[in-house]
Amino acid sequence: MVRSLAQWTKTLSFPARISPHKTNAAPPPTCEGVFRNAPVASHEEIYPDPDSEKAIMGSIVYCIHHKEGCKWSDELRKLKAHLNTCKHDAVPCTNKCGAQIPRVLMEDHLKYTCPQRRARCEFCGKDFTGQTLEAHVGSCSFEPIYCENKCGMKVQRRHLTQHKAAECSKRLVPCRYCSKEFVADTLQTHHTKCGRFPVACPNRCETAILAREELDLHLKEKCSSLGMSCAFKEAGCRFKGNRYALEKHLDENTKQHLVLMCSVVTKQQHQITSLKSALSRLSLNYSGTLIWKINDYASKLAEAKTKEGMELVSPPFYTSQYGYKLQASLFLNGNGAGEGSHISVYIKILPGEYDALLRWPFSHSVSFSLFDQSPVPEKACNIVESFIPDPTWKNFQRPSKEPDSLGFGFPRFVSHEMLKKRHFIKDDVMFIRVKVDPSKIVAV
């Protein structure tokens, strides 16, 4: 770059120590002073002759950038050459941004201020020119910025919407129970007061969960565990209370409850007994005919032979549904006249349910049959004995509560000899039929 002398002589200064006017007491003149005070003159007037021009060009001057810190000082004629390298002299930006920049500042300019410099966004890492970066900063989607809700969080610009909608502790969220809106970080506190917040009934009734604001009314009027009865209510305990009171009551009244239970058990035993007798009444035989099966004949006979008066008794039976109650008895080793040689059979009249309505004395014919269990039924020959009661006999009067031990019958029904013949005893079993017939007046 070429400059005219006028351009830089304005700021020229001459060091005092090497001034050509050393003898002059006045401060060293500057070129500025020299030229400013001079009248407007032609080139010839300024440089009247080559000698004086030579003298001026040989004068010692400072660099025009002396004030900025350049220490250069030499003859005026060398100034132009110096300025081509002076680090304080301005040159056009090498990036062609158009600015004039002192050489010494060029590096900084290129790096930091030149609008044409290459620059990288520190947030997104993309490349820009200095100029476009300035516009980019402030809108870069990767730049962390403070949340506008003042939650204290810094979030990348691109995540801000999502943060405010879903994460920000200062965002508004509706309470899931009452639907009113609250700042997110106060929701927890709100839940401790929210009227619609679900709570459990402290009485642990079956209404397990209800809204907090409904609890009072529930406890006062609706809670089903109010006035619950003691588990031993059926046994006679009259206690009522809520669940807690009930638990306490049960703990403290074990003995009383046990006493109640004992009386329940006793009552039930009576019921069982009466049920049993009702059941046996139902299974009673009301047909007037008893087929009596005697098992284990041999061992029972052996026992009868050693035990005097051993009597087998049949199940009781009725002559009809509302008739006389009878029972047969059997002495395998005989009784009375048949003792030791015969089997004896008798019939006894037992006190029955309908005795008050029946005719007395008992006057139906009674027959006893010993079955021949022959494998050929046609050849079977049963032994039958029967009688018509004698009305004068005491045995046939209405029985008292404690009937006679003996009835009426046949002490010599079948002899032991006869029993061995035929098939009266088969497989150690004997069958005797007792038949009461109200229509027959003649014994068969």
- For Zn ion, the binding residues (CB under 5 A) are 63, 65, 70, 72, 86, 93, 95, 97, 99, 114, 121, 123-124, 140, 147, 149, 151, 153, 168, 175, 177-178, 194, 201, 203, 205, 223, 230, 232, 237, 239
Provide the minimum distance between the beta carbon of 67 and Zn ion in the complex, in angstroms, as a whole number. Answer: 11
Provide the minimum distance between the beta carbon of 165 and Zn ion in the complex, in angstroms, as a whole number. Answer: 10
Which residue, 84 or 280, is less far from Zn ion as judged by CB?
A: 84
Provide the minimum distance between the beta carbon of 2 and Zn ion in the complex, in angstroms, as a whole number. Answer: 16
Which residue, 31 or 230, is less far from Zn ion as judged by CB?
A: 230
Which residue, 246 or 434, is less far from Zn ion as judged by CB?
A: 246
What 3 state SS string does the chain have? CCCCHHHHHCCCCCCHHHCCCCCCCCCCCCHHHHHHHCCCCCHHHHCCCHHHHHHHHCCEEECCCHHHCCCCEEEHHHHHHHHCCCCCCEEECCCCCCCEEEHHHHHHHHHHHCCCCEEECCCCCCEEEHHHHHHHCCCCCCCEEECCCCCCCEEEHHHHHHHHHHHCCCCEEECCCCCCEEEHHHHHHHHCCCCCCEEECCCCCCCCEEEHHHHHHHHHHHCCCCCEECCCHHHCCCCEECHHHHHHHHHHCHHHHHHHHHHHHHHHHHHHHHHHHHHHHHCCECCCEEEEEECCHHHHHHHHHHCCCCCEECCCEECCCCCCEEEEEEECCCCHHHCCCEEEEEEEEECCCCHHHCCCCCCCEEEEEECCCCCCHHHCCCEEEEECCCCCCHHHCCCCCCCCCCCEEEEEEEEHHHHHCCCCCECCEEEEEEEEECCCCCCC
Provide the minimum distance between the beta carbon of 271 and Zn ion in the complex, in angstroms, as a whole number. Answer: 23
Which residue, 230 or 414, is less far from Zn ion as judged by CB?
A: 230
Q: How far apart are CA 390 and CA 7, in angstroms?
A: 180
Provide the minimum distance between the beta carbon of 47 and Zn ion in the complex, in angstroms, as a whole number. Answer: 25
Which residue, 73 or 329, is less far from Zn ion as judged by CB?
A: 73
Provide the minimum distance between the beta carbon of 245 and Zn ion in the complex, in angstroms, as a whole number. Answer: 11
Which residue, 86 or 347, is less far from Zn ion as judged by CB?
A: 86
Largest separation between any pair of C-alpha atoms in the chain = 203
> CA-CA distances (angstroms) from residue 167 to 132, 182, 188, 190?
33, 14, 15, 18
Provide the minimum distance between the beta carbon of 136 and Zn ion in the complex, in angstroms, as a whole number. Answer: 5
Provide the minimum distance between the beta carbon of 144 and Zn ion in the complex, in angstroms, as a whole number. Answer: 11
> Which residues make Cβ contacts (< 8 Å) with residue 1, sequence separation at least 6?
84, 91
Provide the minimum distance between the beta carbon of 7 and Zn ion in the complex, in angstroms, as a whole number. Answer: 15
Which residue, 168 or 370, is less far from Zn ion as judged by CB?
A: 168
Which residue, 117 or 435, is less far from Zn ion as judged by CB?
A: 117
Q: How far apart are CA 371 and CA 353, in angstroms?
A: 31
Q: Which residue has the tokens 């060009």?
A: 57
Provide the minimum distance between the beta carbon of 267 and Zn ion in the complex, in angstroms, as a whole number. Answer: 18
What 3 state SS string does 169-212 have? CCCEEECCCCCCEEEHHHHHHHHCCCCCCEEECCCCCCCCEEEH
Which residue, 47 or 177, is less far from Zn ion as judged by CB?
A: 177
Which residue, 57 or 215, is less far from Zn ion as judged by CB?
A: 215
Provide the minimum distance between the beta carbon of 94 and Zn ion in the complex, in angstroms, as a whole number. Answer: 8
Which residue, 145 or 383, is less far from Zn ion as judged by CB?
A: 145
The torsion angles phi and psi of 205, rounded to 5 degrees, stand at: -80, 180
